[in-house]
């Protein structure tokens, strides 16, 4: 499903192949576009329901003069993640950067959670990250040239939000996995880090705002506004590009001595 992009000018040499999961929209899309700007050829991934978005992102990447391919896969299923890595390598070349960005959220009080609620949250946000980290690491070890692995944490990986407790716990797990992988992958010259966004203007935060508003008997949009005004030092909602800039750094040679870290990019809510 790959094709060579061209914008009519000489195409700079690729900096390598990157996979960005959950990249049909939101933060993942911004990351995929940023990495293409930075010179990566990008494998765009999402679930079947978001295939049209994947096509749009691939088209944008190709307009930047970079190669792109699409791998539809559910990150909670290891076999599908392994196939995604194989597709990226076959279509674009050796894997240099994995961004395990895909995730889900749910607003629900702890005592109302069902077994399925808890299981699904961890299947996507924890098993999904593990699957991406492990499949990418095995491919990079096989290539023998090192690499970079990144995962999506959140500010709630440092301090949970009420009614986002199981989501928060899943993101704490991402921090732990990131640190553990960083230690075990160091001998292979593979760095492993995570990024922790704050309140971002995406479909996920619109859902969170909507559900929290119901629980708190507030109007839609008021919860995010209140959180931004009361919690964020820089006083504005984040945009996906804010996060993509940090991922750009973590995916570049400038971060070669950074590993095992979860970098907060939230406008000043959590101070580490």
Give φ, ψ of 138 to 5 degrees: -65, -40
Task: Compute the distance between CA of residue 217 and CA of residue 173 in angstroms, rounded to an integer.
Answer: 31
- Residue 187's Cβ-count burial label (10 Å; 0-12, 13-18, 19+) is exposed
Task: Compute the distance between CA of residue 200 and CA of residue 180 in angstroms, rounded to an integer.
Answer: 27
Q: Considering 40, 167, 195, 227, which one is annotated as catalytic?
A: 167
Q: Considering 67, 108, 148, 171, which one is annotated as catalytic?
A: 171
Query: Does the annotation count 167 as an active-site position?
Result: yes
- Residue 113's Cβ-count burial label (10 Å; 0-12, 13-18, 19+) is middle
| Gyration radius (Cα) of the chain, Å | 18
Query: Does the annotation count 40 as an active-site position?
Result: no
Measured in residues, the chain has a length of: 272
Instruction: Let me know: does 102 contact 45? Beta carbons within 8 Å.
Output: yes
Place of tokens 């911004």: 30
Positions annotated as catalytic residues are: 167, 171
């Amino acid at each position: 499903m790959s094709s060579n992009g061209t914008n009519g000018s000489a195409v700079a040499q690729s900096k390598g192949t990157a996979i960005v999961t959950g990249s049909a929209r939101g933060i993942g899309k911004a990351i995929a576009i940023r990495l293409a700007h930075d010179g990566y050829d990008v494998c765009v991934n999402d679930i079947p329901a978001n295939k049209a978005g994947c096509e749009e992102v691939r088209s944008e990447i190709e307009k930047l003069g970079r190669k792109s391919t699409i791998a539809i896969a559910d990150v909670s299923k290891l076999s599908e993640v392994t196939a995604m890595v194989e597709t990226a390598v076959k279509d674009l070349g050796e894997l240099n950067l994995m961004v395990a960005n895909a995730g889900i959220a749910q607003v629900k009080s702890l005592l109302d959670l069902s077994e399925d609620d808890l299981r699904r949250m961890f299947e996507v946000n924890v098993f999904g990250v593990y699957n991406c980290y492990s499949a990418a690491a095995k491919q990079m070890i096989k290539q023998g040239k090192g690499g970079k692995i990144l995962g999506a944490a959140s500010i709630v990986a440092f301090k949970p939000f009420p009614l986002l407790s199981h989501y928060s716990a899943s993101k704490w797990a991402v921090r732990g996995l990131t640190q553990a992988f960083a230690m075990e992958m160091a001998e292979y010259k593979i760095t492993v880090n995570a990024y922790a966004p704050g309140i971002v203007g995406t479909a996920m935060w619109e859902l969170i705002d909507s559900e929290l508003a119901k629980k708190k008997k507030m109007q839609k949009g008021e919860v995010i506004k209140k959180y931004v005004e009361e919690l964020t030092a820089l006083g504005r909602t984040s945009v996906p590009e804010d996060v993509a800039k940090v991922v750009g750094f973590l995916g570049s040679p400038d971060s070669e001595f950074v590993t095992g870290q979860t970098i907060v990019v939230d406008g000043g809510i959590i101070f580490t």
